[in-house]
Structure 1
Amino acid sequence: MTAQIDAIYRSESRRVLATLIRVLGDFDLAEEALHEAFFVAVQRWPEDGVPDNPRAWLVSTGRFKAIDRLRRQSRFTPLLEEQAEALEAAPWSDEDVEDDRLRLMFTCCHPALAADAQVALTLREICDLSTEAIAHAFLATPSTIAQRIVRAKGKIREAKIPYQVPSRAELPERLDSVLRVIYLVFNEGYSASAGADLTREDLTLEAIRLGRLLLELLPEPEVMGLLALMLLHESRRPARTSASGELVLLDAQDRTLWDRALIAEGCALVEQALTSRRFGPYCLQAAIAAVHAEAPSAGETDWRQIVGLYDVLLRSVPSPVIELNRAVAVAMEQGPLAGLALVDNLLQRGELQDYHLAHSARGEFCRQLGRFDEARRAYEKALSLTQQAPEKRFITRRLAELK
């Protein structure tokens, strides 16, 4: 039974929390109610059995626990009794809970909040990422992320930011932050920042689900581009690790394991988005992924086209990480020496000194050039920076080969 409750927590807790925030109108109160509801479930379900609709049961239990908590605290703060009475009198239904996380996402991405706070809050509240994982995504410290989240919650409470999907007129200004959130959620699932597993399928599928919901709400080219990008990357997931869980690089992947249905859907979305001529960075990244997906083998990849797409992407969104990806593509087209020059320039600028993939790429280029001492130092630096077990094992194998 404990394992079953744990599974329900993993699959339902974020949905339950989003609905509780809608019902209770307060982040902190909803989080306390969520934990109390699961505490009651651990006590009752082993004897009573799991309810037919665990999500509705948890929301209902959490709501009652929140009302009880407010009434207990009203002895010291009388206004809380009025809040408890209002919550008890307000009707609620579990018929419309599927979109609660989308409503919550737009609340978290309200323009009254700082951009980084929008993303951090959404990743924490909707997807249950730890502050450490969010910090890794932001290249920031956990304490900085925690402060952003606390300030964002306070701003929502003080400004009485509504819990709703904005009107169509308001959507465009809110869209960039929402897309960024979904993209970071997918990235954390596609390449987990830490832990024993390379990927977290629950996060990639959640990001794709949110992307589909957003496309239904707002069929804009960049929404199509982001969904296409996620589908094309997700199509390769079965081939990215071996049967024993070891990392398999793109050029060594068994392409028969790639999900052709996801590739077809993703490529169709890319084509539809690009024909609009109103595309942006997500469409361009999806186009790069489509070139990889359509290549029959690694050796038949059109690297010149990929470098050209990266050039356009960099003009749209200057980024050292995109420059690093372009350097890898240049190395595949022109050779490791050309790639090494670009990576060395990036590292000398200092922007990617703490990014393990930059040092790993340098190690690979040096290895291919026979500069084994430099390769070893670069791989050792990458090993010291990565927190993911499969990547650690991969780099350790590379170092063993150099010896």
Structure 2
Amino acid sequence: MKTQVAIVGAGPSGLLLGQLLAKSGIANIVIEQRSGDYVLGRIRAGVLEQTTVDLLREAGVASRMDAEGLPHDGVELCFGGQRHRIDLHGLTGKQVMVYGQTEVTRDLMAARTAAGLPTVYEADEVAVHGFDSAHPSVTYLKDGVRHEVQADFIAGCDGFHGVCRASVPAGAITQHEKVYPFGWLGVLADVPPVSDELIYVHHDRGFALCSQRSKVRSRYYVQCSLDDKVEHWSDDAFWNELRARLPADTAANLVTGPSIEKSIAPLRSFVAEPLRFGRLMLVGDAGHIVPPTGAKGLNLAASDVGYLWQALQGFYAGRAGEIDHYSQRALARIWKAERFSWWMTSLMHRFPENGTFGHKMQIAEMEYLFSSRAAMTALAENYVGLPLVST
């Protein structure tokens, strides 16, 4: 089979890229190792930046998001038992949209199926070849038959553990990483959110986050040890710990119920440089990871897609040089988001190893933040998402 762009990975970044390319008349195929049901079963982020919302609308897959998503004009930070609201819209003129990644993926899958675009699920032994030449290809095994897809470009949208970045020669890539000494224990439950907006909590017992997916489905997190195990946490134990970290009036309004998903996620910051290797482009988690504190993971993947889509449009319109700028442009935005996510993580979590001095610095930082419109504006600008730099 021949196509113009072979996309490895059917998560939201791969599917969004495929949809945008198809709307631009650029042929593509998506190849995914897992089943469609497995992809939909992954519980991920739910806060979308304006840039991501705009790309979903451009791709023609935003009707359900616009009908069911929850626009948020602000976000709250809780410190010393007091809730402080950051007026995102008032400070920036922008908002964020609460709409789960699972639903984004579902919408993209439905649109791809309706358009009759080729997608291969449960592809075994996926491998990328010849990406340092003008004739790259992707091979895979499906139902015992080996297939080869010849393409002009390969988009590696296959995540942190995928084959694309792993196929790059070690000497051609530089990897930067910070692993945090804690994780997040998260619970998804069909209960109404405790607040209309997200609440980030700094507490002596550890960080907590009150998030949501809809008006009847909530996502809550508490900071935990990396050595902790999900099976050590009953639902009652989780709700009791969450209550202990919330202000008393907020805890009193918390509605609890049986969890429908419970997991522990480690936190890390990771960036691979560059993101282009000949005709292979890394996109999303294949090239970078952020701690979830700043709600940037899915949004950074979407901005990568935006940059790559622009570059490929330019290439096929006769402006071949635009593809040369993909990595540089994407990484400039990635590092800014990495900085913000690192800052939010450093501000809101408990770091016992930093001692009393580190704790006092967090208090001073938070007190300055809430007393300075400039500081709140900087937080708001980063939280709603920095703009994509146009070509």
Q: Give the TM-score category using the shorter length.
A: under 0.3
Higher strand share: 2
- TM-score, normalised relative to structure 1: 0.24
* Greater percentage in helix: 1
Bigger Cα Rg: 1
TM-score normalised over the length of structure 2: 0.25
Return the structure number with greater relative CO, CA threshold 8 A, min gap 6: 2
